[in-house]
A = this chain, B = another copy of it.
Amino acid sequence: MRKIDVSYDDGILNKDDEYIVGVNDGTTFNNVKYKGVRLFNGKKMLMFQTKANRQLTINPSFHTFTLEKTDSKSKARAGLLETAHGEIETPIFMPVGTAGTVKAVHQHEIKDDIKAQIILGNTYHLYLRPGLEVIENAGGLHKFMNWGGPILTDSGGFQVYSLGDSRKIKEEGVTFRSHIDGSKHLFSPEYAIDIQRTIGADVIMAFDECTPYPCDYSYAKRSMHMTHRWLKRCCDRFDSTEGKYGYDQTFFPIVQGSTYKDLREESAEMIASFEREGNAIGGLSVGEPAEEMYATTDLVCNILPKDKPRYLMGVGTPVNIIENIALGVDMFDCVMPTRNARNGMLFTSEGFINIRNEKWKNDFSDLDSNGTSYVDSQYSKAYLRHL
């Protein structure tokens, strides 16, 4: 008999086998027989039967994280994050599908060739185009883009700050002008949650302020405290609303505090105290030296709970990813692979390649002879250079 965290899928539970079932409030039920899944109002519920023939109907958490293995020589770990749209093996890199598409790649290629287990959507871009009405009419982003796997959305904060002069940050939220038509909009913590509810991402991010690098101490401190207040508002909104499309979503708060040790400690402790199903580290990969990034990640990972996934936002290069995995990070995203590829830079098992370089003109070897994707072995360097 094994102790299980209740799962959303009866695939891993055997009918009539006995389990110890632990539920979120700490209660455990011993020797209960699994009886299968039943639908209540369109929602999957797990059915168990106790020794005393009492029926247990359990609303499974759709976002359980299981820590499967921890490295003995580093803080690296392997885990499994379960969502309504499938399991994610961590550590994981999440390709960025900015406005509802990983550019120039078919959904079946992301799934079958790249084997991405989760992709990202950008709230700011999706909000402006195609807009919430279209996404809601489509039945959410998964259906709109025909992607059946998990999706994570950022809160729109990062893009909004990047707008520079066209945005204003206040306690209420951020006012900004669209980069497309100059129209005026307000993102508040509450509205950022509402938008992400409408997009229907499996993992929703808190609305925070991402401070630039460098950032003076007093600004970083003030900003971090506002991020914490915004987090409370995000949580209140998230907890008082439901997913719009019949499946559960989960919510990750974000640690800020620039590169200041005491601020990062304070923020990590505050974020951990919210006890959400996962936690993120923001405000890095914004220009700081790699050592500062690693020091901050290390510090924050030591504070964030071990049994929750840790997501380092916007990182990064292959080396950055490996180093941060060793510090205990589980999830990553970055536009680098897709953006750099569009500019001719490839990440191969043998290092960076600038495919526009003259030296590849007559090199008919595979793009990456150790690669696992279709393109790695089907096209030569000379051919890609030509294209």
Question: Which residues of A are in contact with B by a Cβ distance under 8 Å?
Answer: 99-101, 104, 106-108, 129-130, 133-134, 137-139, 143-146, 361-362, 364, 374-375, 378-380, 382-383, 385-387
> 8 new A-B pairs (CB below 8 Å) besides A108-B378, A130-B385, A134-B382?
A100-B387, A101-B387, A133-B362, A137-B364, A138-B380, A138-B382, A144-B386, A146-B378
Q: Which residues of B contact A146 (CB under 8 A)?
A: 378-380, 383
Report the minimal beta-carbon distance from A195 to chain B, rounded to whole angstroms.
16
Closest to A377 in B: B146
Q: Which residues of B contact A104 (CB under 8 A)?
A: 104
Give the docked Cα–Cα distance between A134 and B382 (Å): 8
B138-A364 in contact (CB<8A):
yes
Q: Which residues of B contact A129 (CB under 8 A)?
A: 386
A130-B100 in contact (CB<8A):
no
Q: Which residues of B contact A134 (CB under 8 A)?
A: 361-362, 382, 386
Report the minimal beta-carbon distance from A311 to chain B, rounded to whole angstroms.
27
Report the minimal beta-carbon distance from A66 to chain B, rounded to whole angstroms.
32
Give which listed residue, B144, B378, B379, contacts A383 with CB less than 8 A: B144
B107-A378 in contact (CB<8A):
yes
Q: Which residues of B contact A385 (CB under 8 A)?
A: 130
Q: Which residues of B contact A361 (CB under 8 A)?
A: 130, 134
Give the docked Cα–Cα distance between A270 and B107 (Å): 52
26 cross-chain CB contacts under 8 A:
A99-B386, A100-B386, A101-B387, A104-B104, A106-B374, A106-B375, A106-B378, A107-B378, A108-B378, A130-B361, A130-B382, A130-B386, A133-B362, A134-B386, A137-B364, A137-B382, A138-B364, A138-B382, A138-B383, A139-B364, A143-B364, A144-B364, A144-B380, A144-B382, A145-B383, A146-B380
Q: Which residues of B contact A382 (CB under 8 A)?
A: 130, 134, 137-138, 144
Report the minimal beta-carbon distance from A369 to chain B, rounded to whole angstroms.
15
Report the minimal beta-carbon distance from A338 to chain B, rounded to whole angstroms.
15
Q: Which residues of B contact A145 (CB under 8 A)?
A: 383
Give the docked Cα–Cα distance between A144 and B100 (Å): 33
